[in-house]
Amino acid sequence: MSRQIRVAAAQSGPIQKDEPRQSVVARLTAMLDQAADAGADLVVFTELALTTFFPRYYAEDRAEMDDWFEREMPNAATRPLFERAAERGVGFYLGYAELTPEGQHFNTSILVDKQGTTVGKYRKVHLPGHAEHDPERAFQHLEKRYFLPGDLGFPVWRTMGGVMGMCICNDRRWPETFRVMGLQGVELVMLGYNTPSVNSQKPGEAIEKRTFHNRLTLQAGAYQNATFVVGVAKAGDEDGHHLFGESCIVNPDGEIVAMAETEADEVVVA
Ligand code: ING
């Protein structure tokens, strides 16, 4: 029997520094409703989906950045999303900045099933950018300063009728990410990304190369591991820094079967 699942890529438009989490969660919840109305079983949100992409800002004292992190999940700000998802019977992927009770900082995603139970957690392994302020760069990309490399590997989970895997943003650029999950029989890989349209070290590089590399990594990962891949952007202009969109759903033949058309909050279903 064919195991069909309707998946929604829920792309986020820009999140500004001063936008409260409650406002962001209301946006995510509205997209979840839209996806559920379109018959989706599973909604994929983006990387660091609750806040602006704060690793673009330098802080001498890293503790100053702790306000961008979540100490527990769900929490007061995100519980409405978990509750609405369970009401609608929809599972979801959510990317956020995790601060553990032991004081460790990770760029994290979770997989929540249709009953609102967190069935999986992933922590970003490939952290791009740099750890110290780099005046040579057009803008900073300080993931190496604010996050530890993920310590959970690339697991897969049997849930919602399939074998599901997760990764985050820069992970998609490294073949081992998809391959390790492929060797475990993954059937659907979900990932969020916040990718600047400008290369901070090569400002002259055309955006077309960046979006080409995005499609290339998602399509190759899908085809070479016979898996669906759902890539979901945070898009648009955050504090003067542009992030490209093109959130998409790719089938195991490596074909893009659906793609976002805007740089705003947008739900694409397949
Ligand atoms: N962003 C970018 C990404 O990997 C980047 C950083 C862009 C690295 C382009 C190399 C080239 O898509 C995040 N958040 O990893």
Tell me the pLDDT tens digit for each residue of 164-189.
999 999 999 999 999 999 999 999 99
Mean local confidence (pLDDT), 66-86: 98
pLDDT of residue 51: 98
Is 177 within 8 Å of 126 (Cβ atoms)?
Answer: yes
Is 250 within 8 Å of 228 (Cβ atoms)?
Answer: yes
Is 97 within 8 Å of 150 (Cβ atoms)?
Answer: no
Distance CA 216, CA 223 (A): 10
Question: First and final CA of the chain: distance in angstroms?
Answer: 19
pLDDT of residue 233: 98
Residue with tokens 């060797």: 183
Residue 169 Cβ < 6 Å to ligand 1: yes
Phi first, then psi: give them for residue 165, nearest 5 degrees.
-135, 165
pLDDT of residue 1: 62
Nearest Cα to 158, choosing from 23, 5, 32?
5
Residue 194 Cβ < 6 Å to ligand 1: yes
**Edge-to-edge strand ranges of the sheet holding 118-123:** 118-123, 105-112, 91-99, 42-44, 7-11, 266-269
* Cα dist from 83 to 59, 112, 161, whole Å: 35, 11, 22
Distance CA 55, CA 11 (A): 20
Is the pTM here over 0.75, yes or no?
Answer: yes
- Max distance between CA atoms of the chain, in angstroms, equals 58
Provide the 8-state DSSP code for 125.
Answer: -
Residue with tokens 């909050």: 265
Could you say which of 98, 143, 167, 169 is catalytic?
Answer: 169
- Tell me, yes or no, if 83 is annotated catalytic: no
Query: What ranges do the domains of the chain cover?
Result: 7-269
According to CATH, what is the number of the domain 7-269?
3.60.110.10
Could you say which of 47, 70, 238, 246 is catalytic?
Answer: 47
Coil/strand/helix, residue 264: coil
In total, the chain counts a number of residues equal to 270
Residue 195 Cβ < 6 Å to ligand 1: yes
pLDDT band (50, 70, 90) for residue 200: confident
